[in-house]
């Protein structure tokens, strides 16, 4: 595709998503009147795909200038081209980028001098708090949002985020339940089926991590007739899985018979070299967690003597001990790399939380404390009420 064809293709994708996003449409109309972001630049790190495109349009209606990068593996080049063709939008992202490219692009977003940032996974925060070159932003930023569980872990556990307020979208029950459980549950199953074309009925599938995402994935897989075994390091999570009727076991036992293994923990090295050595020959391994580090790729490469791409998004590792295993999307989040990500309506709700959170942060007298914290309850309630109006009654949003 030439540049113009890419732009047209991206516009068609965005238009399809826009038609299913009534909550953002309503917020956009309101922003067009109140202009909460007039004169402000928003620096964004979020998957550069069509739903994000509709959200960018919403922020532009509110008067924002945008600098955006995505995450490795999930960028749609046509969506990126369509967004880059809009006035006041700079896009630093392309498909096939490495993690080093990604960090370089995050630095470019910060070099745009944002007044607000919207982060996903904590990389923008890590650069602001970790690199002197971006230190001035600690004083000048009005505030930030963080989208996901993994970013929240980093903000609360690793980074000392004390200089500006960061609203953690993932700390809302609305996001955890609607997106992580229902959205990720269905989109991971969709991606697995599309990319492999295998039958899930009767398959023995191990889900590692029974949090919001893992529970959703396990439920949807069961709905497709799979035999699901849940592994979690927390006894209470395993007990919950048991009470929900799932099998539960220690990882080594579970791997012995697994035909498909899906990680959803938000932690690194869950499937390490030792566990990779226990994978059944012919098993398919995929990750739904934020970073590609849940499956130890270096250990997998070390244990193999050949890697062959057998299908789009699937590589076959010929192991030195004679087994073979299939890895999906090089360990990147499978629903965004081998599928279209979470369903559009789900992201309508999630990105509405983002929009109203950023508008609150944009007010210089927002009254918010510095540091990472939950989204104000009134914002969550408003978004849930809008979702109820749109989804339950089928009426247009107010």
Ligand X SMILES: NC(=O)c1ccc[n+]([C@@H]2O[C@H](COP(=O)([O-])OP(=O)(O)OC[C@H]3O[C@@H](n4cnc5c(N)ncnc54)[C@H](O)[C@@H]3O)[C@@H](O)[C@H]2O)c1
Strand order in the sheet with 227-231: 247-248, 227-231, 204-208, 260-263, 284-287, 324-328, 314-319, 304-311
CB of 86 to ligand X, least distance (A): 25
* Contact with ligand X (CB under 6 A) among 288, 314, 346, 390: 288
Q: Taking contact as CB under 6 A, which single stretch among the options 89-97, 190-198, 232-240, 389-397 is the one that binds ligand X? A: 232-240
The Cα–Cα gap between 330 and 314 comes to 8
User: How many helices (DSSP H) and strands (DSSP E) are in the chain?
Assistant: 18, 15
* Contact with ligand X (CB under 6 A) among 88, 234, 302, 312: 234
* Contact with ligand X (CB under 6 A) among 182, 212, 317, 326: 212
Between 149 and 397, name the residue whose CB sits nearer to ligand X. 149
The Cα–Cα gap between 73 and 341 comes to 11
DSSP state of 375: P
Q: Taking contact as CB under 6 A, which single stretch among the options 6-14, 144-152, 298-306, 312-320 is the one that binds ligand X? A: 144-152
Between 288 and 359, name the residue whose CB sits nearer to ligand X. 288
Residue nearest to ligand X (CB): 211
CB of 137 to ligand X, least distance (A): 24
CB atoms within 10 A of CB 392: 8
The verdict on 342 binding ligand X (CB under 6 A) reads: yes
Between 115 and 380, name the residue whose CB sits nearer to ligand X. 380
CB of 234 to ligand X, least distance (A): 4
Between 94 and 233, name the residue whose CB sits nearer to ligand X. 233
Residues numbered 262 to 281 that lie near ligand X (CB under 6 A) are 264-267, 270
Burial 215-235 (b: 16+ CB within 10 A, else e): bbbbbbbbebebbbbbbbeee
CB atoms within 10 A of CB 168: 23
Query: Which two structure tokens, joined as six digits, stand for 272?
Result: 């390490």
Between 168 and 336, name the residue whose CB sits nearer to ligand X. 336
* Contact with ligand X (CB under 6 A) among 237, 329, 355, 357: 237
The verdict on 246 binding ligand X (CB under 6 A) reads: no
Per-residue contact string for residues 298-337; x = within reach of ligand X by CB under 6 A: -----------------------------------x-xx-
Instruction: Answer yes or no: are the C-beta atoms of 42 and 116 closer than 8 Å.
Output: yes
The Cα–Cα gap between 59 and 246 comes to 43
Q: At what angle do helices 344-362 and 22-34 cross, to 10 degrees?
A: 20
Binding residues for ligand X, total number by CB under 6 A: 30
The Cα–Cα gap between 317 and 302 comes to 10
Closest of 96, 51, 100 to residue 75, by C-alpha: 96
Residues numbered 151 to 210 that lie near ligand X (CB under 6 A) are 179-180, 184, 208-210
230 phi, psi to nearest 5 deg: -105, 135
Between 89 and 124, name the residue whose CB sits nearer to ligand X. 124
Between 41 and 248, name the residue whose CB sits nearer to ligand X. 248
The verdict on 43 binding ligand X (CB under 6 A) reads: no
DSSP one-letter string for 180-209: IIIIHHHHHHHHHHHHH----TT-EEEEE-
Between 77 and 249, name the residue whose CB sits nearer to ligand X. 249
Between 149 and 283, name the residue whose CB sits nearer to ligand X. 149
Interface ranges with ligand X (CB under 6 A) = 148-150, 179-180, 184, 208-214, 231-234, 237, 264-267, 270, 288-290, 333, 335-336, 342
């Amino acid at each position: 595709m030439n540049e113009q064809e890419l732009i047209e293709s991206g516009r068609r994708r965005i238009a399809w998503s826009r038609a299913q996003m009534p909550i953002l449409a309503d917020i956009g109309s309101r922003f067009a009147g109140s202009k909460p972001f007039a004169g402000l630049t928003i620096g964004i790190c979020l998957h550069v795909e069509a739903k994000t495109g509709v959200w960018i349009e919403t922020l532009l209606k509110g008067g924002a200038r945008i600098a955006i990068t995505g995450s490795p593996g999930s960028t749609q080049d046509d969506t990126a081209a369509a967004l880059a063709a809009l006035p006041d939008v700079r896009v630093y992202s392309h498909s096939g980028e490495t993690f080093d490219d990604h960090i370089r692009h995050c630095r470019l977003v910060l070099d745009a001098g944002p007044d607000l940032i919207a982060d996903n996974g904590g990389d923008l925060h890590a650069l602001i708090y970790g690199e002197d070159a971006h230190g001035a932003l600690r004083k000048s930023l009005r505030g930030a949002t963080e989208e996901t569980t993994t970013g929240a872990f980093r903000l609360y556990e690793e980074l000392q985020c004390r200089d500006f307020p960061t609203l953690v979208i993932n700390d809302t029950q609305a996001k955890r339940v609607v997106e992580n459980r229902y959205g990720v549950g269905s989109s991971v199953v969709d991606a697995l089926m599309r990319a492999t074309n295998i039958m899930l009925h009767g398959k023995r599938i191990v889900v590692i991590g029974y949090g919001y995402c893992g529970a959703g994935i396990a439920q949807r897989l069961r709905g497709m007739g799979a035999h699901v075994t849940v592994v979690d390091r927390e006894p209470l999570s395993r007990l919950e899985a048991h009470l929900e009727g799932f099998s539960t076991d220690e990882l080594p036992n579970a791997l012995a018979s697994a035909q498909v293994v899906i990680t959803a923990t938000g932690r690194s090295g869950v499937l390490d070299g030792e566990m990779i050595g226990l994978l059944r020959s012919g098993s398919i391994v995929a990750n739904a967690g934020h970073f590609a580090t849940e499956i130890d790729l270096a250990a997998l490469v070390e244990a193999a003597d050949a890697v062959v791409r057998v299908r789009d998004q699937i590589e076959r590792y010929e192991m030195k001990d004679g087994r073979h295993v299939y890895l999906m999307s090089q360990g990147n989040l499978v629903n965004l790399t081998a599928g279209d990500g979470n369903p559009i309506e789900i992201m309508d709700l999630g990105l509405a939380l983002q929009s109203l959170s950023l508008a609150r942060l944009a007010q210089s007298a927002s009254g918010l404390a510095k540091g990472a914290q939950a989204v104000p309850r009134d914002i969550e309630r408003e978004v849930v009420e809008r979702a109820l109006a749109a989804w339950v009654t089928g009426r247009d949003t107010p």
